A and B are shown apart, each in its own frame.
Chain A
Amino acid sequence: MSAVLFFIAGFGAIAGAVGVVMLRDPFYAVLALVGHLISLAILFLLLRAEFVAAVQVVVYAGAVMVLYVFVVAYVGGSAEGARGDELRVGGPGSIGHGSVGSNLRLGGVIAGGALLIELLIALLGTGLEAIGGQGAGYSPGPRTFGTPAYIGNLLLTRFLLAFEAASFLLLIAAVGAVVLARRRGGIDDDGDMNGRVLTPLDLVRPQGTGTMAEGVGGPHQ
Protein backbone atom coordinates (compact mmCIF):
# COMPACT_ATOMS: atom_id res chain seq x y z
CA MET A 1 0.00 0.00 0.00
CA SER A 2 2.75 2.38 0.98
CA ALA A 3 4.71 1.50 -2.16
CA VAL A 4 1.69 2.10 -4.41
CA LEU A 5 1.02 5.44 -2.76
CA PHE A 6 4.69 6.37 -3.08
CA PHE A 7 4.77 5.70 -6.79
CA ILE A 8 1.53 7.59 -7.41
CA ALA A 9 2.68 10.60 -5.40
CA GLY A 10 6.24 10.51 -6.73
CA PHE A 11 5.00 10.37 -10.31
CA GLY A 12 2.63 13.26 -9.55
CA ALA A 13 5.44 15.33 -8.05
CA ILE A 14 7.74 14.78 -11.03
CA ALA A 15 4.93 15.35 -13.54
CA GLY A 16 4.01 18.59 -11.79
CA ALA A 17 7.63 19.74 -11.88
CA VAL A 18 7.88 18.93 -15.60
CA GLY A 19 4.65 20.87 -16.13
CA VAL A 20 6.03 23.93 -14.35
CA VAL A 21 9.14 23.91 -16.51
CA MET A 22 7.51 23.10 -19.84
CA LEU A 23 4.13 24.85 -19.89
CA ARG A 24 4.00 28.11 -21.83
CA ASP A 25 1.19 29.82 -19.96
CA PRO A 26 2.27 30.90 -16.45
CA PHE A 27 -1.27 30.29 -15.20
CA TYR A 28 -1.07 26.60 -16.08
CA ALA A 29 2.44 26.50 -14.61
CA VAL A 30 1.01 27.71 -11.30
CA LEU A 31 -1.69 25.03 -11.45
CA ALA A 32 0.96 22.39 -12.17
CA LEU A 33 2.89 23.61 -9.15
CA VAL A 34 -0.23 23.19 -6.99
CA GLY A 35 -0.47 19.56 -8.12
CA HIS A 36 3.22 19.11 -7.44
CA LEU A 37 2.86 20.52 -3.92
CA ILE A 38 -0.08 18.27 -3.07
CA SER A 39 1.83 15.21 -4.32
CA LEU A 40 4.76 16.31 -2.21
CA ALA A 41 2.49 16.59 0.83
CA ILE A 42 1.51 12.93 0.30
CA LEU A 43 5.21 12.02 0.24
CA PHE A 44 5.68 13.94 3.49
CA LEU A 45 2.82 11.98 5.02
CA LEU A 46 4.50 8.73 3.94
CA LEU A 47 7.63 9.97 5.70
CA ARG A 48 5.61 10.50 8.92
CA ALA A 49 5.92 14.28 8.75
CA GLU A 50 2.28 15.02 9.45
CA PHE A 51 2.63 18.62 10.53
CA VAL A 52 4.93 19.54 7.64
CA ALA A 53 2.47 17.94 5.21
CA ALA A 54 -0.40 19.96 6.67
CA VAL A 55 1.60 23.17 6.47
CA GLN A 56 2.57 22.33 2.90
CA VAL A 57 -1.06 22.02 1.83
CA VAL A 58 -2.48 24.93 3.83
CA VAL A 59 0.29 27.52 3.48
CA TYR A 60 2.00 26.58 0.22
CA ALA A 61 -0.71 25.10 -1.95
CA GLY A 62 -3.27 27.41 -0.37
CA ALA A 63 -1.97 30.84 0.47
CA VAL A 64 1.20 31.22 -1.58
CA MET A 65 -0.35 29.81 -4.74
CA VAL A 66 -3.35 32.14 -4.42
CA LEU A 67 -0.86 35.01 -4.31
CA TYR A 68 0.73 33.68 -7.50
CA VAL A 69 -2.62 33.36 -9.23
CA PHE A 70 -3.49 36.95 -8.31
CA VAL A 71 -0.22 38.29 -9.69
CA VAL A 72 -0.50 36.21 -12.88
CA ALA A 73 -4.00 37.55 -13.39
CA TYR A 74 -2.86 41.12 -12.72
CA VAL A 75 0.27 41.12 -14.85
CA GLY A 76 -1.34 39.26 -17.71
CA GLY A 77 -0.19 35.72 -17.59
CA SER A 78 0.34 34.83 -21.22
CA ALA A 79 2.95 37.50 -21.93
CA GLU A 80 5.65 34.95 -22.61
CA GLY A 81 3.46 32.71 -24.70
CA ALA A 82 2.04 35.53 -26.79
CA ARG A 83 5.41 36.77 -27.90
CA GLY A 84 6.56 33.27 -28.58
CA ASP A 85 8.97 31.56 -26.25
CA GLU A 86 10.49 29.81 -29.25
CA LEU A 87 14.05 30.94 -29.41
CA ARG A 88 13.20 34.42 -30.69
CA VAL A 89 14.92 34.27 -34.06
CA GLY A 90 16.42 37.73 -34.30
CA GLY A 91 13.18 39.65 -33.92
CA PRO A 92 13.16 43.39 -33.29
CA GLY A 93 14.18 44.27 -29.79
CA SER A 94 15.71 40.92 -29.13
CA ILE A 95 19.11 40.97 -27.62
CA GLY A 96 21.63 38.69 -29.17
CA HIS A 97 20.75 36.40 -32.00
CA GLY A 98 18.32 33.59 -32.49
CA SER A 99 20.85 30.89 -31.87
CA VAL A 100 21.63 32.26 -28.43
CA GLY A 101 18.23 31.19 -27.16
CA SER A 102 18.49 27.62 -28.44
CA ASN A 103 22.05 27.33 -27.18
CA LEU A 104 20.91 28.55 -23.79
CA ARG A 105 18.11 26.02 -23.70
CA LEU A 106 20.39 23.17 -24.75
CA GLY A 107 23.02 24.26 -22.27
CA GLY A 108 20.41 24.50 -19.52
CA VAL A 109 19.19 20.99 -20.15
CA ILE A 110 22.74 19.63 -20.25
CA ALA A 111 23.62 21.47 -17.03
CA GLY A 112 20.46 20.15 -15.38
CA GLY A 113 21.23 16.59 -16.48
CA ALA A 114 24.76 16.87 -15.14
CA LEU A 115 23.39 18.26 -11.88
CA LEU A 116 20.95 15.36 -11.62
CA ILE A 117 23.67 12.76 -12.16
CA GLU A 118 25.90 14.45 -9.64
CA LEU A 119 23.11 14.67 -7.07
CA LEU A 120 22.18 11.03 -7.54
CA ILE A 121 25.80 9.98 -7.10
CA ALA A 122 26.15 12.19 -4.04
CA LEU A 123 22.90 11.07 -2.43
CA LEU A 124 22.71 7.39 -3.33
CA GLY A 125 26.41 6.61 -3.50
CA THR A 126 27.15 7.73 0.02
CA GLY A 127 27.44 4.19 1.32
CA LEU A 128 25.23 5.02 4.29
CA GLU A 129 23.52 1.80 5.26
CA ALA A 130 20.47 3.58 6.62
CA ILE A 131 19.73 5.01 3.19
CA GLY A 132 18.48 1.64 2.00
CA GLY A 133 16.35 1.10 5.09
CA GLN A 134 12.84 2.13 6.00
CA GLY A 135 14.01 4.73 8.51
CA ALA A 136 14.16 4.69 12.27
CA GLY A 137 11.61 2.93 14.39
CA TYR A 138 8.20 4.54 14.62
CA SER A 139 5.32 3.91 16.96
CA PRO A 140 2.10 5.89 16.55
CA GLY A 141 1.06 8.08 19.43
CA PRO A 142 -0.20 11.56 20.27
CA ARG A 143 3.26 13.07 20.86
CA THR A 144 5.43 10.95 18.65
CA PHE A 145 7.73 11.95 15.78
CA GLY A 146 6.22 14.45 13.34
CA THR A 147 3.02 15.33 15.19
CA PRO A 148 2.15 18.98 15.87
CA ALA A 149 2.92 18.52 19.57
CA TYR A 150 6.39 17.21 18.78
CA ILE A 151 7.17 19.97 16.27
CA GLY A 152 5.81 22.68 18.55
CA ASN A 153 7.87 21.42 21.43
CA LEU A 154 11.04 21.49 19.33
CA LEU A 155 10.25 24.91 17.85
CA LEU A 156 9.65 26.57 21.20
CA THR A 157 12.54 24.99 23.08
CA ARG A 158 15.53 23.95 21.01
CA PHE A 159 14.87 26.09 17.94
CA LEU A 160 13.41 29.16 19.60
CA LEU A 161 16.01 31.47 18.05
CA ALA A 162 15.32 30.16 14.54
CA PHE A 163 11.59 30.52 15.17
CA GLU A 164 11.94 34.16 16.24
CA ALA A 165 14.31 34.94 13.39
CA ALA A 166 11.81 33.46 10.92
CA SER A 167 9.00 35.58 12.33
CA PHE A 168 11.16 38.71 12.08
CA LEU A 169 12.07 37.79 8.50
CA LEU A 170 8.38 37.50 7.64
CA LEU A 171 7.76 40.97 9.09
CA ILE A 172 10.59 42.45 7.02
CA ALA A 173 9.30 40.72 3.88
CA ALA A 174 5.78 42.05 4.43
CA VAL A 175 7.05 45.62 4.86
CA GLY A 176 9.32 45.23 1.84
CA ALA A 177 6.52 44.00 -0.36
CA VAL A 178 4.37 46.99 0.56
CA VAL A 179 7.22 49.39 -0.18
CA LEU A 180 8.00 47.71 -3.51
CA ALA A 181 4.48 47.38 -4.85
CA ARG A 182 2.95 50.67 -3.77
CA ARG A 183 1.39 52.75 -6.47
CA ARG A 184 3.23 56.04 -6.08
CA GLY A 185 6.82 56.73 -5.19
CA GLY A 186 9.64 54.52 -6.21
CA ILE A 187 12.74 55.44 -8.09
CA ASP A 188 11.37 57.89 -10.65
CA ASP A 189 9.07 59.85 -8.34
CA ASP A 190 9.96 63.50 -8.82
CA GLY A 191 7.71 64.54 -5.98
CA ASP A 192 5.58 67.08 -7.81
CA MET A 193 2.14 67.74 -6.46
CA ASN A 194 0.49 68.04 -9.91
CA GLY A 195 -1.29 71.21 -8.81
CA ARG A 196 -2.94 69.44 -5.93
CA VAL A 197 -3.79 71.31 -2.75
CA LEU A 198 -2.35 69.94 0.46
CA THR A 199 -5.16 68.73 2.69
CA PRO A 200 -5.12 67.83 6.38
CA LEU A 201 -5.64 64.23 5.36
CA ASP A 202 -2.09 64.20 3.95
CA LEU A 203 -0.74 64.41 7.48
CA VAL A 204 -2.28 61.14 8.54
CA ARG A 205 -2.15 59.57 5.09
CA PRO A 206 0.87 60.87 3.18
CA GLN A 207 1.37 60.27 -0.52
CA GLY A 208 3.21 57.20 -1.60
CA THR A 209 2.81 55.18 1.55
CA GLY A 210 0.77 52.42 0.01
CA THR A 211 -2.54 53.13 1.68
CA MET A 212 -5.64 51.34 0.55
CA ALA A 213 -7.07 54.59 -0.85
CA GLU A 214 -4.08 54.88 -3.15
CA GLY A 215 -4.36 51.27 -4.12
CA VAL A 216 -7.86 51.76 -5.51
CA GLY A 217 -6.96 55.14 -7.01
CA GLY A 218 -9.00 57.33 -4.73
CA PRO A 219 -9.47 61.12 -4.83
CA HIS A 220 -5.80 61.65 -4.00
CA GLN A 221 -4.62 60.28 -7.29
Chain B
Amino acid sequence: MSIAWYLAVSAIVFSLGAVGVITRRNPLVVLLCLELMLNGANLALVAFSRMWGNGDGQILALIVMTVAACEVCIGLGMIVAIYRRRLPIDVDELRELQG
Protein backbone atom coordinates (compact mmCIF):
# COMPACT_ATOMS: atom_id res chain seq x y z
CA MET B 1 0.00 0.00 0.00
CA SER B 2 1.27 3.44 -0.77
CA ILE B 3 2.09 5.86 2.04
CA ALA B 4 -0.83 8.10 1.06
CA TRP B 5 -3.34 5.52 2.34
CA TYR B 6 -1.79 5.55 5.79
CA LEU B 7 -1.81 9.34 5.82
CA ALA B 8 -5.51 9.34 4.91
CA VAL B 9 -6.28 6.99 7.82
CA SER B 10 -4.27 9.20 10.17
CA ALA B 11 -6.16 12.32 9.01
CA ILE B 12 -9.52 10.58 9.55
CA VAL B 13 -8.55 9.41 13.05
CA PHE B 14 -7.27 12.87 13.99
CA SER B 15 -10.47 14.55 12.80
CA LEU B 16 -12.66 12.08 14.66
CA GLY B 17 -10.67 12.80 17.80
CA ALA B 18 -11.13 16.53 17.31
CA VAL B 19 -14.90 16.09 16.90
CA GLY B 20 -14.97 14.08 20.11
CA VAL B 21 -13.01 16.68 22.06
CA ILE B 22 -15.42 19.38 20.92
CA THR B 23 -18.71 17.54 21.40
CA ARG B 24 -18.29 15.19 24.36
CA ARG B 25 -18.86 16.44 27.90
CA ASN B 26 -17.44 13.71 30.11
CA PRO B 27 -13.78 14.59 30.82
CA LEU B 28 -12.87 10.89 30.70
CA VAL B 29 -14.12 10.65 27.13
CA VAL B 30 -12.45 13.95 26.27
CA LEU B 31 -9.16 12.41 27.41
CA LEU B 32 -9.87 9.34 25.28
CA CYS B 33 -10.47 11.57 22.26
CA LEU B 34 -7.19 13.37 22.95
CA GLU B 35 -5.55 9.95 22.78
CA LEU B 36 -7.19 9.46 19.40
CA MET B 37 -5.69 12.71 18.12
CA LEU B 38 -2.24 11.78 19.41
CA ASN B 39 -2.55 8.38 17.76
CA GLY B 40 -3.48 9.94 14.44
CA ALA B 41 -0.36 12.09 14.65
CA ASN B 42 1.69 9.02 15.58
CA LEU B 43 0.46 7.13 12.53
CA ALA B 44 1.46 10.02 10.28
CA LEU B 45 4.89 10.18 11.94
CA VAL B 46 5.53 6.48 11.47
CA ALA B 47 4.27 6.64 7.87
CA PHE B 48 6.65 9.49 7.06
CA SER B 49 9.44 7.63 8.81
CA ARG B 50 8.79 4.67 6.51
CA MET B 51 8.63 6.98 3.52
CA TRP B 52 12.17 8.26 4.04
CA GLY B 53 13.60 5.07 5.51
CA ASN B 54 14.75 7.09 8.51
CA GLY B 55 14.10 6.22 12.15
CA ASP B 56 13.66 9.76 13.48
CA GLY B 57 9.89 9.69 13.04
CA GLN B 58 9.63 6.51 15.07
CA ILE B 59 11.63 8.08 17.90
CA LEU B 60 9.29 11.07 17.82
CA ALA B 61 6.32 8.69 17.94
CA LEU B 62 7.78 7.04 21.05
CA ILE B 63 8.25 10.45 22.70
CA VAL B 64 4.65 11.33 21.83
CA MET B 65 3.55 8.11 23.54
CA THR B 66 5.50 9.15 26.65
CA VAL B 67 3.87 12.56 26.70
CA ALA B 68 0.47 10.90 26.22
CA ALA B 69 1.14 8.65 29.20
CA CYS B 70 2.01 11.71 31.32
CA GLU B 71 -1.14 13.47 30.15
CA VAL B 72 -3.28 10.46 31.07
CA CYS B 73 -1.59 10.27 34.47
CA ILE B 74 -2.30 13.92 35.33
CA GLY B 75 -5.74 13.95 33.70
CA LEU B 76 -6.98 10.89 35.52
CA GLY B 77 -5.52 12.24 38.77
CA MET B 78 -7.52 15.42 38.26
CA ILE B 79 -10.69 13.45 37.52
CA VAL B 80 -10.25 11.44 40.72
CA ALA B 81 -9.67 14.68 42.66
CA ILE B 82 -12.82 16.22 41.12
CA TYR B 83 -14.80 13.12 42.07
CA ARG B 84 -13.53 13.22 45.65
CA ARG B 85 -14.58 16.85 46.04
CA ARG B 86 -18.09 15.89 44.89
CA LEU B 87 -17.95 18.22 41.92
CA PRO B 88 -19.90 17.33 38.78
CA ILE B 89 -17.87 15.30 36.30
CA ASP B 90 -18.87 17.40 33.32
CA VAL B 91 -16.67 19.80 31.41
CA ASP B 92 -19.61 22.17 30.88
CA GLU B 93 -20.20 22.63 34.59
CA LEU B 94 -16.59 22.97 35.69
CA ARG B 95 -16.35 26.59 34.68
CA GLU B 96 -14.47 28.20 37.53
CA LEU B 97 -11.48 29.06 35.40
CA GLN B 98 -13.61 30.48 32.63
CA GLY B 99 -14.83 33.43 34.70
Contact = CB atoms under 8 A, between A and B. Distances in A.
A6 B53 contact: no
B67 A21 contact: no
Nearest to A53: B46
Contacts of A13: 9, 13, 43
Nearest to B70: A173
Nearest to B95: A95
Contacts of B24: 21, 80
Size class of the A contact interface (CB-based, 8 Å): 35 or more
Interface string B13-47: 11111111011111011011101100100111011
A47 B26 contact: no
Interface in B62-91: 62-63, 65-74, 76-81, 83-85, 89-90
Contacts of A40: 39, 42-43
Contacts of B9: 10, 13-14, 43
B84 to A, nearest CB: 7
Nearest to A182: B81
A144 to B, nearest CB: 10
B78 A180 contact: yes
Contacts of A145: 53, 55
A126 to B, nearest CB: 9
Contacts of B33: 20-21
Contacts, number: 245
A122 B83 CA distance: 41
B39 to A, nearest CB: 6
Contacts of A72: 28
A37 to B, nearest CB: 7
A26 B81 contact: no
B19 A109 contact: yes
A89 interface: no
B2 A134 contact: yes
Contacts of A137: 53
B80 A124 contact: no
A123 B26 contact: no
Contacts of A213: none
A71 to B, nearest CB: 5
Interface string A148-186: 001100110001001000100110111011111101001
A112 B18 contact: yes
14 contacts: A21-B16, A33-B35, A47-B49, A49-B46, A52-B62, A64-B35, A115-B14, A123-B7, A130-B3, A136-B50, A136-B54, A145-B53, A181-B76, A181-B77
Interface of B: 1-20, 22-26, 28-29, 31-33, 35-36, 39, 42-44, 46-47, 49-56, 58-59, 61-63, 65-74, 76-81, 83-85, 89-90, 92-93, 95
